[in-house]
Amino acid sequence: SMGLGLIASIIVGGLAGCIASMIMKADTGLLTNILLGIVGAVVLNAVLALMGIYAANTWVPQLIVGIAGACLLIFGFRAIARRS
């Protein structure tokens, strides 16, 4: 997970997921928001790392990466859901 520790990761992930669901106007629950934020951050951190970009393991950069990652996940999920 993120280099923030478990509790901080959950809080940052939850915040990121909540903000992302507001941006994307997605009506997701708290647990989904936390998962979106954490998974979004993990995925986007991995993508950025491949490009040689490393977000600092502190609250603000990880929150921003989490929000962006969660938005991408919501966008991707909607694209897949629309196809089926």
pLDDT in tens, 43-56: 999 999 999 998 88
Q: Are 55 and 29 in contact (CB under 8 A)?
A: no
pLDDT in tens, 20-29: 999 999 988 9
Per-residue HEC secondary structure of the chain comes to: CCCCCHHHHHHHHHHHHHHHHHHCCCCCCHHHHHHHHHHHHHHHHHHHHHCCCCCCCCHHHHHHHHHHHHHHHHHHHHHHHHHC
Q: Residue 32 above 70 pLDDT?
A: yes
pLDDT at 3: 59
- For residue 70, CA distances in Å to 51, 60 come to 19, 15
pLDDT in tens, 60-81: 999 999 999 999 999 999 999 8
